[in-house]
Amino acid sequence: MNYWQPKLELIKRDELENLQLRRLKSTLEKVYNNIPFYQDNLKNLEIHSQDIQSLKDFSNLPFTRKVNLRENYPFGLFAVPSEEVVRVHASSGTTGKPTVVGYTKNDIDIWSDMMARDFVMVGVNRSDIFQNAVNYGFFTGGLGIHFGIERLGAMAVPSGVGNTERQLEIMEDFGVTVLHCTPSYALYLAETAKAMNVVDKLKLKIGCFGAEPWSEEARKELEDALNIKAYDSYGLSEMFGPGVGFECQEQNGLHIWEDHFIVEILDKNDEPCSPGEPGELVLTSLTKEVMPLVRYRTGDITFSMNDMCNCGRTSIKVHRFLGRADDMLIVRGINVFPSQIEEVLMKLPEVGDYFRVIIDRKRHGLDELTIQVELKDEVFTGELQDLAKIQRNVENKLKSILNIRSRIELVEKGTIPRTVGKSQKIIDKRDVYAKS
Ligand code: DLL
């Protein structure tokens, strides 16, 4: 089986645009008639759903932001009565109330098919045994992925999070062939599998990793360590959850399903970026019933790739995510993305899989960037001068890419805390100082 929904996955561009326009009109009707936030918003701008006659008119519509979800906590953006809502999920930010999203039975169906599409795309089939090692709760990665596995008809192993050794025991005993978790947890699983000497006993062949940014180097590392093909999976609770974008077997960019979303990538002035030019991904949902969102600013930075994909799927492809607009650190006036740091570090043979960026404002209000880097065990020769050499090398490599000098702190393997879910790679201490 190559495609789950071939008609939609291989749809011609003009047919796709007709479908998008039809679905957009019905989405606008829905939000206009049922959601006070959009009623106010669109009325203020004197926009009526009938005004949208082509996808070009679309750019007149106002944006929706995460803060609008918070302001309407918990159910203020729901377009249907609560009798029709069969599930909610929530995602917690670093501050304030979580954002809550809801689903009708039909929303869950669409989401499950979207996930099944993704899994088939990377070669999963009904005979696979699929371990989902993420949190089953408000996080959409638990039930969202789970329902997709069941929809496809593979065997779901809902191992959840925690107890890494037990996770590996299950993987071995059940003959698990597909693994889904965050890439940072996958690295930890790989590290533990090596220490337990079980890698050769595993039957894994495919890894689907997502929910946080990761690098091409991390992919290589995971593929080698676990003998798998590793695929990037992107999604956000506001747009169902996982499944929105997924790599195909080309492993070169993520397909975003344009029958369900209108995709825009916008620059600093909110103008469309050309292919290859990084900008913020803005999504409009076309099929969601409980919480349709118009021009939602994801905060995620990527760029579109304009070549036709060899897999035959016609939907747009975007490059793996470079980070979030709000992850971008401005250090002494220079923009720094943690993904750039990761890319440099993962290429250095002495460096392990974990790093942490600490940014602080100490002397004379100047920002200082410290990067804690875990070294591989074998690098510790006991000779201080060897460490100093590595430190200088890491510092210079980073300087040449980031254009600012950072302080490198080499630490032993195991020093940086392992996480079962999304990892926290940046510790920004500057606010604390600003307040004091
Ligand atoms: O993380 C949904 C998900 C679950 C995706 C499992 C993939 C796998 P939220 O908790 O709402 O939903 O967080 C969404 O996570 O806006 C991105 O900033 C980030 N993110 C998700 N996937 C990727 C990825 C889930 N593949 C937020 N690469 C998004 C980079 C990602 N960032």
Is there a contact between 171 and 204 (Cβ–Cβ < 8 Å)?
Answer: yes
Protein residue closest via CA to atom 12 of ligand 1: 236
Per the DSSP assignment, residues forming a β-bridge with 157 are: 131
Centroid of ligand 1 to alpha carbon of 234 (angstroms): 5
Q: Compute the distance between CA of residue 272 and CA of residue 253 in angstroms, rounded to an integer.
A: 19
Per the DSSP assignment, residues forming a β-bridge with 232 are: 209
pLDDT digits (tens, 9 = 90+) for 121-167: 999 999 999 999 999 999 999 999 999 999 999 999 999 998 999 99
Nearest ligand 1 atom to the CA of 235 is 5
Q: Compute the distance between CA of residue 275 and CA of residue 318 in angstroms, rounded to an integer.
A: 9
Nearest ligand 1 atom to the CA of 324 is 18
pLDDT digits (tens, 9 = 90+) for 252-307: 999 999 999 999 999 999 999 999 999 999 999 999 999 999 999 999 999 999 77
Is there a contact between 408 and 398 (Cβ–Cβ < 8 Å)?
Answer: yes
Is there a contact between 282 and 296 (Cβ–Cβ < 8 Å)?
Answer: yes
Protein residue closest via CA to atom 27 of ligand 1: 236
Per CATH, the number for 329-435 is 3.30.300.30
Q: Compute the distance between CA of residue 66 and CA of residue 48 in angstroms, rounded to an integer.
A: 23
From 140, 219, 297, mutation site for ligand 1 pocket: most ligand atoms within 8 A of C-beta: 140
Pocket lining for ligand 1, CB < 6 angstroms: 91, 140-141, 210-213, 232-237, 241-242, 298, 300, 321, 324
Which residue has better confidence, 365 or 408? 408
Centroid of ligand 1 to alpha carbon of 54 (angstroms): 30
Q: Which of 175-184, 201-210, 356-365 has the least mean pLDDT?
A: 356-365
Protein residue closest via CA to atom 29 of ligand 1: 236
Q: What angle do CA 31, 34, 36 make, to 5 degrees?
A: 85
Q: What angle do CA 389, 392, 393 make, to 5 degrees?
A: 85
Nearest ligand 1 atom to the CA of 327 is 18
In this predicted structure, the answer to whether residue 435 has a pLDDT above a threshold of 60 is no
The domain limits of the chain are 1-323, 329-435
From 301, 321, 326, mutation site for ligand 1 pocket: most ligand atoms within 8 A of C-beta: 321
Q: Compute the distance between CA of residue 210 and CA of residue 102 in angstroms, rounded to an integer.
A: 21
Q: Is 382 helix (H, G, I), strand (E, B) or coil?
A: coil
Share of the chain above pLDDT 90, in %: 74
Question: Is residue 183 very low, low, confident or very high in pLDDT (cuts 50, 70, 90)?
Answer: very high
Q: Which long-range contacts (CB under 8 A, 24 or more apart) does 213-216 make?
A: 213/320, 213/321, 213/322, 213/323, 213/324, 213/327, 213/338, 213/339, 213/342, 214/183, 214/184, 214/320, 214/342, 215/320, 215/339, 215/342, 215/343, 215/346, 216/320, 216/343
Q: Terminal CA-to-CA distance of the chain, rounded, Å?
A: 61
Q: Compute the distance between CA of residue 331 and CA of residue 111 in angstroms, rounded to an integer.
A: 40
From 212, 254, 301, 320, mutation site for ligand 1 pocket: most ligand atoms within 8 A of C-beta: 212
What pLDDT score does 58 carry? 84
Alpha helices per DSSP H over 72-182 = 105-121, 140-152, 164-174
Nearest ligand 1 atom to the CA of 232 is 26
Is there a contact between 149 and 125 (Cβ–Cβ < 8 Å)?
Answer: no
| 1-323 fold | Rossmann fold (3.40.50)
pLDDT digits (tens, 9 = 90+) for 385-394: 889 999 999 9
Centroid of ligand 1 to alpha carbon of 187 (angstroms): 17
Is there a contact between 367 and 360 (Cβ–Cβ < 8 Å)?
Answer: yes
- The H-or-E segment that residue 278 falls in is none
Centroid of ligand 1 to alpha carbon of 397 (angstroms): 29
Which residues lie below 8 Å from residue 145, measured CB to CB, with a gap of 6+?
Answer: 115, 132, 134, 180, 208, 242, 243
Centroid of ligand 1 to alpha carbon of 45 (angstroms): 32
What pLDDT score does 93 carry? 65
Centroid of ligand 1 to alpha carbon of 244 (angstroms): 10
Question: Is residue 338 very low, low, confident or very high in pLDDT (cuts 50, 70, 90)?
Answer: confident
* b/e burial code for range 213-250 (CB count within 10 A of at least 16 → b): bbbebbbebbeebbebbbbbbbbbbbbbbbbbbbbbee
Centroid of ligand 1 to alpha carbon of 43 (angstroms): 32
Q: Compute the distance between CA of residue 31 and CA of residue 76 in angstroms, rounded to an integer.
A: 12
Q: 1-323 and 329-435 share one CATH topology?
A: no
In this predicted structure, the answer to whether residue 433 has a pLDDT above a threshold of 50 is no
Rounded mean pLDDT of 383-402? 91
In this predicted structure, the answer to whether residue 375 has a pLDDT above a threshold of 80 is yes
Share of the chain above pLDDT 70, in %: 97
Q: Compute the distance between CA of residue 137 and CA of residue 124 in angstroms, rounded to an integer.
A: 24
Nearest ligand 1 atom to the CA of 422 is 1
Nearest ligand 1 atom to the CA of 139 is 10
Question: Is residue 434 very low, low, confident or very high in pLDDT (cuts 50, 70, 90)?
Answer: very low
Q: Is 257 helix (H, G, I), strand (E, B) or coil?
A: coil
Centroid of ligand 1 to alpha carbon of 189 (angstroms): 20
Q: Is 246 helix (H, G, I), strand (E, B) or coil?
A: strand
What pLDDT score does 436 carry? 32
**Structure-token pair, residue 219:** 């992919």
What pLDDT score does 247 carry? 98
In this predicted structure, the answer to whether residue 397 has a pLDDT above a threshold of 70 is yes
Protein residue closest via CA to atom 6 of ligand 1: 141
Protein residue closest via CA to atom 10 of ligand 1: 91
Centroid of ligand 1 to alpha carbon of 300 (angstroms): 9
The per-residue pLDDT of the chain, averaged, comes to 92
Rounded mean pLDDT of 412-423? 89
Protein residue closest via CA to atom 31 of ligand 1: 212
Which residues lie below 8 Å from residue 305, measured CB to CB, with a gap of 6+?
Answer: 252, 253, 275, 276, 317, 318, 319
Centroid of ligand 1 to alpha carbon of 242 (angstroms): 7
**Structure-token pair, residue 66:** 């995460």
Is there a contact between 223 and 183 (Cβ–Cβ < 8 Å)?
Answer: no
Question: Is residue 431 very low, low, confident or very high in pLDDT (cuts 50, 70, 90)?
Answer: low
Centroid of ligand 1 to alpha carbon of 405 (angstroms): 30
Strand pairing class (178-181; 129-132): parallel
Q: Which of 67-71, 248-252, 420-424 has the least mean pLDDT?
A: 420-424
pLDDT digits (tens, 9 = 90+) for 87-128: 999 987 656 788 999 999 999 999 999 999 999 999 999 999
**Structure-token pair, residue 27:** 């989405």
Centroid of ligand 1 to alpha carbon of 236 (angstroms): 5
